[in-house]
Amino acid sequence: MTERTIPLLPCRTIQPVVDFYTALGFGTTFVQRSPYPYAVVERGPVQLQFFGMKQYDPAESYSGCYVVTDDVDALHATFRAGLKAAYGRIPTRGLPRIGPLKDMSYGMRQFLMTDPGGNTIRVGRPVSDDPSLRPVPRETFARALHLADLFADSKQDLPGAARIVDHALAQEGERPTAVQHLRLLVLRADVARRLGDEPLARRLLEQAAALRLGAGERDAAQDALARLAELRA
């Protein structure tokens, strides 16, 4: 037997959701207007189905799914390019949006995107052969990064993420590694910009750009450095 899971996801109206996934390279294989709105989109082996609810509030949505791939970097680049072509920019705030690519402490390299219906699709690949999820880190700054990433991207609690990073950066008895310091500053700057605090975002980005990293550290911080360059552009 071969089993397959197909997510059924809610939205207020079907067409903006279909347009979003069309921009990502999905094909629309089914659209129904009555007796209730319904649509099916597919991209390779990935199929997502959507149903319309008039009273649904996308901003309050908790629905979503996880798509596992063997080339998350390529999908991230492809999806960003598609969204930029469709919307004239890469949407990083509000609905819809796509987040940065990150190595998560629980063993996945991933990014998150949220469609106009408020459904969050996580796309990632394992970064090790161990299929079990790793526990929350105990070390101060690794734990802060873990929690702040979850608050900022998964939970969309930007003030909460800001408090976590600010507390970590204010530590006096411990200091982060250069890579951790860079990641904390870039994440905090990203959160500041998403909260509309552009002066703080610029100051933090300048601090991050001034950090000196060795060759090995730069390799370990590639994602943060790419995000730094994007935010400063």
CA torsion sign, 102 to 105 to 108 to 114? Answer: negative
Yes or no: say if 201 and 189 are a contact pair by the CB < 8 Å rule. Answer: yes
CA torsion sign, 159 to 161 to 162 to 168? Answer: positive
Instruction: Grade residue 37 by pLDDT with cuts at 50, 70 and 90.
Output: very high
pLDDT tens column, 85-96? 999 999 988 899
DSSP labels for 43-90? ETTEEEEEEE-TT--GGG---EEEEE-S-HHHHHHHHHHHHHHHHSS-
Residue 131 is predicted with a pLDDT of: 63
The full set of domain ranges for the chain reads: 8-114, 136-228
Q: What is the 3-class SS of 166-183, one letter each residue?
A: HHHHCCCCCCCCHHHHHH
- Tell me which of 3.10.20.30, 3.40.50.300, 3.10.180.10, 3.60.20.10 is the CATH number of domain 8-114: 3.10.180.10
Nearest to 67 by CA among 38, 110, 106, 27: 110
pLDDT tens column, 101-130? 999 888 899 999 999 999 999 999 998 777
pLDDT tens column, 133-165? 678 889 999 999 999 999 998 888 999 999 999
Q: Record the pTM.
A: 0.85
